[in-house]
Amino acid sequence: MRAEHAGYACGAALGFLGDLVVGDPRRGHPVAAFGRAAAAVERRLWRDDRGRGALHTALCAGGTAAGAALLTRAVRRSPAASVALTAAATWSVLGGTSLGREARAVGGALAVGDLDVARERLPHLCGRDPQALDGQQMARAVVESVAENTSDAVVGALVWGAVAGVPGLLAFRAVNTLDAMVGHKSPRYHRFGWASARLDDVAGFPGARLTAALAVLAGPDRRGAWRAWRQDGPSHPSPNAGPVEAAFAGALGVRLGGTLAYGGRVEHRPVMNGAAGRPVAVPDIERAVTLSRRVSALALAATVAGRCAVGAVRRARTAGRAK
């Protein structure tokens, strides 16, 4: 294994372990710092205009990628520094442990019947209106959020890290964060956030498919996960949430989707695994978190192996041309 790829593999594994053991810091998280910077840029640029939104996206996401590329170049001669940078970047962009922690917090409140606490914690996971949800609906929202954020907060970042190293890791998290900030269809962001939302769809496409595939592989019902992904995933309004939610629904044997209140709007989404699934129950939250962790670990192995395999093929081709 070439030193460059071995260094990435070691750094990515260390960063993954760091997220697993430590999780996100309560204060001073790099993603939060990026969010504050992006909000400051937005205050200067905002107009109800797609062009201004595209400029905002280019400055924030492009600036992140450029800065990461400069950092990578600065440490390229030091294997130890390269590993440390990759580990720090991987840890900073992954959110699997915090995702599981918040999901369990809502699940624990629901388990003891404390709907007020569950409603207070639910916004940490998703943007739904918790006051409009009963206990079963909140449990469904948690499972849906765990499924979607396994792709957004873990697998997608690992995919782009395998493709482009530290710049890929940080740029993906920047794009995903911008989508969460301005990509929703509120009156303020319907035009301004268009570029961020579309770029997030493109960036999230490979990670969502890998997440769905690994949910089929790691889930308790492989046939159900595959069937739901193929039959119900395409009907979802999001090209990336659809495959992931459908695969999780089939793997866990539950129904996801349906009516929800989000950002002051009521949406009627297609039901995932409706023919074979049952309503989500509180214990399904823990099952979803367990599946998310399995998918995340498999994604780390798959992306590192893929990066090393591509590097080996390129070296073989270069050696063949040199003969």
The domain ranges of the chain are 3-322
What average pLDDT does range 190-208 have in this prediction?
Answer: 97
HSE-CB of 174 using CA atoms within 13 angstroms: 25
Name which of 241, 275, 75 is nearest 167 in CA terms: 75
**Residue owning tokens 């390269």:** 82
Contact 212, 246 (CB under 8 A): yes
pLDDT band at 23, cuts 50/70/90? confident
Q: Tens digit of pLDDT for each residue in 215-271?
A: 999 999 999 999 999 999 999 999 999 999 999 999 999 999 987 766 556 677 899
Contact 243, 212 (CB under 8 A): yes
Report the alpha-carbon distance of residue 83 to residue 91 in Å, rounded.
Answer: 12
Q: Tens digit of pLDDT for each residue in 167-183?
A: 999 999 999 999 999 99
Mean of per-residue pLDDT scores for the chain: 92
Report the alpha-carbon distance of residue 169 to residue 16 in Å, rounded.
Answer: 12
Contact 250, 277 (CB under 8 A): yes
- Range of weakest confidence among 23-37, 146-160, 170-184: 23-37
Which pLDDT belongs to residue 2?
60
Report the alpha-carbon distance of residue 230 to residue 322 in Å, rounded.
Answer: 45
Name which of 158, 156, 150 is nearest 8 in CA terms: 158
Report the alpha-carbon distance of residue 164 to residue 242 in Å, rounded.
Answer: 26
Contact 239, 105 (CB under 8 A): no
pLDDT band at 111, cuts 50/70/90? very high
Both structure tokens of 290: 């367990």
Which pLDDT belongs to residue 94?
96
Share of the chain residues as helix, strand and coil, in percent rounded to the nearest 5: 75, 5, 20
pLDDT band at 27, cuts 50/70/90? confident
**What percentage of the chain has pLDDT greater than the value 90?**
80
Report the alpha-carbon distance of residue 137 to residue 225 in Å, rounded.
Answer: 21
- Local structure of 45: helix, strand or coil: helix
pTM: 0.93
